[in-house]
Amino acid sequence: MSPEAVPLHTDCDIFTTVFYGTAMAKAIRILGRHTSYNVQKVLWLADELSLQYEHIQTGGRFGGTDSKEFLAINPHGKVPVLVDRERAIVESNTIIRYIADVYGKGIWNASEPFERTLTDRWLDWSIDRLERAFVAVFWGYYRTPPEKRDSDAIDRAVSECEDCLLALSAQLGLKPYLIGAHPTLADIATGVFLHRLYSIELPVTLPDNVFQWYQRLSRRQPYNKWVMSDFSELKGRVGY
């Protein structure tokens, strides 16, 4: 089923679906609209690991995040949420760490504490620097109607994004992925922003290393399916 084909859920449906399952219920349920880059991190990793899960479109035009049942699961009213049996996990980077720890067989995140910091620092940096710069570009330009845009703020945000891309480029060096020969959570938490930076009409320069990394990621089926999915419904949409 294509992402768009999933039916809308009422608040009540979401509560029922999450806790009691549907006819196609799986132990793992991923709540969140596929157009959210935070949700895409989770769907991308789940497919890399061939997890069996149920995807419940939630938030945005699908609604459901302001119901009291959803807020009981995530008081921030945001997606993604992962429900693994009866336990709910929130915050995209926390969720991907959890999935990697429980289902990842040591490939996507190291267990040795120092090795783990090598990946973790990119997850933290992605929130502190990259996401902040990306959001200023994506919301300031793509999601804001032309007559309301602040072009100076957009220029500053593009420059901040380009600084972040240079930091990624330096790290990529001779390595195909941020940590080495195989992608890890570091690539997921940062690589999820690349497609949008590359494909909105603004000229954001991708350094060579970063462009090649983007191409490598694009050839991975889960990246192609989720991260490179159509997000045009968000254009000029400041509502959520």
Regarding 79 and contact with ligand GSH (CB under 6 A), the answer is yes
The residue type found at 130 is L
Nearest C-alpha neighbor of 44 from the set 190, 197, 208: 190
In whole angstroms, the minimum distance from the beta carbon of 235 to ligand GSH comes to 15
Q: Which span (89-97, 109-117, 180-188, 206-214) binds ligand GSH, by CB under 6 A?
A: 89-97
Residue at shortest CB range from ligand GSH: 59
Number of chain residues interacting with ligand GSH (CB under 6 A): 14
Cβ distance to ligand GSH smaller for residue 132 or 149: 132
Interatomic CA distance for residues 180 and 203, integer angstroms: 29
Q: Quick one: which of 65, 67, 171, 190 contacts ligand GSH (CB under 6 A)?
A: 65
Contacts of 86 (CB under 8 A, 6+ apart): 19
Compute the least distance from the CB of residue 157 to ligand GSH, in Å: 17
| Residue 41: CB minimum distance to ligand GSH, A | 8
Q: Does 67 bind ligand GSH (CB under 6 A)?
A: no
The answer for residues whose C-beta is within 8 angstroms of residue 222's C-beta and 6 or more apart is: 43, 44, 45, 46, 47, 48
Site stretch for ligand GSH (CB under 6 A), options 7-15, 78-86, 162-170, 182-190: 78-86
- Which amino acid, residue 222? P
Instruction: Identify whether the C-beta of residue 181 lies closer than 8 Å to the C-beta of residue 175.
Output: yes
Binding flag, residue 78, ligand GSH (CB under 6 A):
yes
d(CA 12, CA 103): 30
* 209 lines the binding site for ligand GSH (CB under 6 A): no
Q: State the minimum distance, in angstroms, from the CB of residue 239 to ligand GSH.
A: 9
Min. distance of Cβ 236 from ligand GSH in angstroms?
Answer: 16
Q: Please, are residues 55 and 81 in contact by the beta-carbon 8 Å criterion?
A: no
The answer to whether 219 and 212 have CB atoms below 8 angstroms apart is no
Give the footprint of ligand GSH on residues 24-63 (CB under 6 A).
33, 36-38, 59-60
Cβ-based neighbours of 42, under 8 Å, separated by 6 or more? 30, 32, 80, 82, 92, 95, 96, 99
CB of 94 to ligand GSH, least distance (A): 8
Q: Alpha carbon 105 to chain centroid distance? A: 21
Asked if 17 touches ligand GSH (CB under 6 A), the answer is no
Residue 108 C-beta: closest distance to ligand GSH, Å: 17
Contact positions vs ligand GSH (CB under 6 A):
33, 36-38, 59-60, 65, 78-80, 91-93, 240
